[in-house]
Structure 1
Amino acid sequence: MSLSPGFDVVHEVAVSSEGSAVFEHGWQSFSPTTTYPLGGRPHRPATERNRMLNYRQSSHPDASRYFGEGVLAVADGHGSVHVVAAADPFATGVRIQAAVTGSSVVIGADGPVLVTATSGSDVQAALRSWAVSAASAAGLAAARPAPTAWCTWYEYWGDVREQDVVENLGAMRALDLPVDVVQLDDGYFTEIGDWLSPSATFPDLCGLVEQIRAEGRRAGIWLAPFFAGARSRIAAEHPDWLLRHPHGGPLHAGHNWNQDLYSLDLSHPGAAEWMHTVFSTFASWGIDYFKIDFIAAGAIPGERSSGADPVTAYRDGLALIRSAVGPSAHILGCGAPVLPSVGLVDSIRVSADTGHTFAPEDGDMCSPSQEAAVLSAEGRQFMNGVFFANDPDCLLVGPKMENRETWAAHVSRVGGAVVSSDRLLGLDEWGLETTRRLLTR
């Protein structure tokens, strides 16, 4: 099997028929990331919608070759792990491909890479060694631990109301739960992109933030800053702020919330000013925890006002957000291009969304499910505490959660962010004890 056009051979590994394996790193949070036994079929998107929302839009790997976004590793079965990574893994979008040819694995890349070989057969240990070296070379500050949090999403979805938050805020006090942050998720705004226009179920959003802080807790909020929904006022009033096709017209970034989604071009001065206003407004209310979601939309190819390449534009967008919220605020990236986010977020989702059921409905390991969430969180465990705090997704331990003991053990094992997302008064004795134990640092 040969490499695809555009990939130059950078390394070749002689492999054994026993014990050899290939590690694929996915582009963004939701993209499958794991180690396959040599010859194992890699995960690929089940539908075009999944590819658009959960994989790198400009990459089209088939299942006949292994494909790593920024980093790929091969355990040769002879006692070494070969890590092939972009020479500048955080500021570029280099792709790496591996083709099995007889007793060799031929590795190619579409940009500059560095190759290191580590003794031993533990792929995660070799990757962690690479990560520590890459962080040191980039001059990264030590990763900050994530605060504990409670989030509205998995209990209330987009139908959350202000009184739901108030109820759980009271439950935290009554149950004496060590929750640092109370985070509002999807549902507090009118449309995707119109973040400062509260929905009817949040008549006093600023007042709710004050109430959370008056309880001695930090306030957090969810946004998808690179998205503008087709129904939004932002998209209607400022079409020039949207990422463009090379031939003109807004570029679709996906479809969700029963509408087309566009990518906001934060290199446009007007869009940049608006987004800075959104984040600085929330920060002025006392919000200092920001879950920014679906942010891979900021790194898709298209015509940008600045002419910047997608990865540069994405990193510039994150830097803009950081400037608006300040250095002490906690930024959690989700649906995020993982390596290009390093140094710009404090914690990052390292997997697909979890779910109340074990397996993904469509069989795609980017889709919400415990199975998909565990797969990629385990694949990216080497990053935890080096690049950022790993977020395995929310702690769900209510009675409706299948395999809740196994899922709680996974969240604990990751050792990164712990974010409860159950209705607290609905927990049984085991669920409450487990929630308290995992939230206690």
Structure 2
Amino acid sequence: MPHPFTSVASLPVDPANARIHEEGWQSWSPSGSYALGDRPYRPTNDNWATVCYRPGVTVPDGTFQGEGLLALDPGDGSAVRLWAAVDPTAEVPSVRLTVTDGVAEVSADGPVKEWTGTDIQSVLADWACAQQVPAPRPAPTVWCSWYEYFTNVTEDDIHENLRAMDTLDLPIDVVQIDDGYQSALGDWLTLSGRFRSRAGIADAIRARGRRAGIWTAPFLVDPASDLATEHADWLVRDPAGGFTHAGRNWGHDLRVLDTTHPEAAAYLTDVFRTLRSEGYDYFKVDFLYAGALDGVRHKDIDALTAYREGIELIREAIGEDAYLLGCGAPLLASIGLFDAMRVSPDTAPHRRPEADDYSQPGQDPAEFTGVGRQWQHGRFWVNDPDCLMARPAVETRERWAAHVEATGGLMASSDRLLSLDEWGVTTTRRLLSGVDELSGATE
């Protein structure tokens, strides 16, 4: 049952100058600063509410709400206030703010602590530093197959781009194979018909002096997969006895792997140990919100504890030396678990998202939330602003490249490299060769 909201603060604001920072639930949830007269971004349909926002949470009209964090600049010259979760890895309360007749009323449905600072980004950074997370190691540079090939990527596409990296003299450390190599979500070790040998392509990548990376969505299960058919008892259930619904994507109503089930945990461990043994040492784990969905699990533990245990299981399987990038993850519940983290919705070859929903792919939403979460970079993880796309077909590619560069975070290219023109090659090379903001060293 949800907890009731109780008052935590009441203070005057200047309605013309006040600003509020809403922190969204997960990577793709819109996060950033609003004026009092702005209408914050909200889900435009029930599916996106599950896939991209905090499931089961509806924010009343005229209300600002942050998940675990909400900051207020009163706009009258007084201190900026932040209300933040006391123990964010265990409990992430919702924090609400409404303004009536120039007075802000703040409430929360769980314990929060108040912080003060001079501006929104700095008070958020102060709170982040107080969590005492060890400084993240610098990120490698990456080429990723997703934004050119999507799920139609082939093994031959990987080989073509691998050769092009040498031809174009691009300083790429990791070649990451994205969605499309596997037969189904959940059947991670069974290849699609477009790939011949997962170990063989890892060997080819490493033979050229680069590291092999691979994508998974470890907590999602396609109902048409062999896993779902043969091991229905490994899936999270809803209280009525059906399956917990993880949203609709890839044309399917998705289910959730119950990593508290010993056999499911053993299976997932085997998946990641196998990938590691084949030569992969960079892992992008995606759609992680699914692991934090409420439901009936084998172990009687809360969803956030189950989520963290699932990520820890993956880390143990791949080893501390492997690089772990999270995406679509409940952010505050992920503190201390990842090397790098996507901090925004997906980018896209276009600027505006569908239905103006700022959780959906587009350069504008990726910039809005990426800027709003810049305070996390170097304090919790390396921020991943999403991939550079520099090919001529990409809308406002110059502006998008400037945003990726300004973050100082993970630098990844996602073009068919032979499709780049002179500007695209030069820009890609420059960003991949840039100064790492964490170490100060030129890569």
Same-fold call, TM cutoff 0.5:
yes
2:184 equivalent to 1:191: yes
Q: Which of residues 35, 40, 51 is equivalent to 2:33?
A: 35
> What amino acid sits opposite 2:82 in the alignment?
V
- Contact between 1:73 and 1:81, CA under 8 Å: does it hold in 2? yes
Partner residue of 2:301?
A: 308
Matched residue SS, 2:105 = strand
- Contact between 1:43 and 1:63, CA under 8 Å: does it hold in 2? no
Report matched runs for 1:353-364 at 5 Å: 353-364=346-357
- Contact between 2:350 and 2:362, CA under 8 Å: does it hold in 1? yes
Matched residue SS, 2:392 = coil
Report matched runs for 1:162-241 at 5 Å: 162-241=155-234
Partner residue of 1:428?
A: 421
Partner residue of 1:271?
A: 264
Partner residue of 2:438?
A: none
> What amino acid sits opposite 2:298 in the alignment?
S
Q: What count of residue pairs does the alignment treat as equivalent?
A: 432
Partners of 1:150 and 1:12 lie apart in 2 by: 49
Identity %: 48
Partners of 1:207 and 1:188 lie apart in 2 by: 13
2:358 equivalent to 1:387: no
Partner residue of 1:92?
A: 91
2:325 equivalent to 1:326: no
Matched residue SS, 2:60 = coil
- Contact between 2:115 and 2:123, CA under 8 Å: does it hold in 1? no
Report matched runs for 1:5-404 at 5 Å: 6-79=4-77, 80-118=79-117, 120=118, 122-133=119-130, 135-136=131-132, 140-404=133-397
RMSD: 1.1
Superposition deviation, residue 286 in structure 1: 1.3
> What amino acid sits opposite 2:102 in the alignment?
S
Partners of 1:354 and 1:70 lie apart in 2 by: 25
TM-score by length of 2: 0.96
Partners of 1:238 and 1:250 lie apart in 2 by: 13
- Contact between 1:33 and 1:379, CA under 8 Å: does it hold in 2? yes
Matched residue SS, 1:132 = helix
Q: Which consecutive aligned stretches of 4+ in structure 1 deviate over 2 angstroms post-superposition? A: none
- Contact between 2:83 and 2:112, CA under 8 Å: does it hold in 1? yes
> What amino acid sits opposite 1:50 in the alignment?
W
Matched residue SS, 2:354 = coil
- Contact between 2:3 and 2:109, CA under 8 Å: does it hold in 1? no
- Give the gaps of 5 or more residues in structure 2: 434-442
- Contact between 1:243 and 1:265, CA under 8 Å: does it hold in 2? yes
> What amino acid sits opposite 1:65 in the alignment?
T
Matched residue SS, 1:195 = strand
Partners of 1:215 and 1:318 lie apart in 2 by: 31
Superposition deviation, residue 249 in structure 1: 1.9
Partners of 1:60 and 1:281 lie apart in 2 by: 41
Q: Deviations over 1:379-409 (max 9, x none)?
A: 1001011100110110001001100000000
Partners of 1:388 and 1:42 lie apart in 2 by: 26
- Contact between 1:44 and 1:63, CA under 8 Å: does it hold in 2? no
Matched residue SS, 2:269 = helix
> What amino acid sits opposite 2:307 in the alignment?
Y
TM-score by length of 1: 0.96
- Contact between 2:50 and 2:56, CA under 8 Å: does it hold in 1? no
Matched residue SS, 2:284 = strand
Superposition deviation, residue 27 in structure 1: 0.3
> What amino acid sits opposite 1:106 in the alignment?
E
Which moved further from structure 2: 15-24 or 260-269?
Answer: 15-24
- Contact between 1:239 and 1:250, CA under 8 Å: does it hold in 2? no
Matched residue SS, 1:377 = helix
Change (3 A) 1:219 1:63: farther
Partners of 2:375 and 2:68 lie apart in 1 by: 15
- Contact between 1:30 and 1:367, CA under 8 Å: does it hold in 2? yes
Superposition deviation, residue 18 in structure 1: 3.1
Partners of 1:436 and 1:62 lie apart in 2 by: 47
Partners of 1:198 and 1:84 lie apart in 2 by: 47
Partners of 2:80 and 2:385 lie apart in 1 by: 26
Matched residue SS, 2:341 = strand
> What amino acid sits opposite 1:437 in the alignment?
R
Partners of 1:349 and 1:166 lie apart in 2 by: 26
Partners of 1:299 and 1:17 lie apart in 2 by: 37
- Contact between 1:42 and 1:63, CA under 8 Å: does it hold in 2? no
> What amino acid sits opposite 1:34 in the alignment?
G
Partners of 2:60 and 2:28 lie apart in 1 by: 18
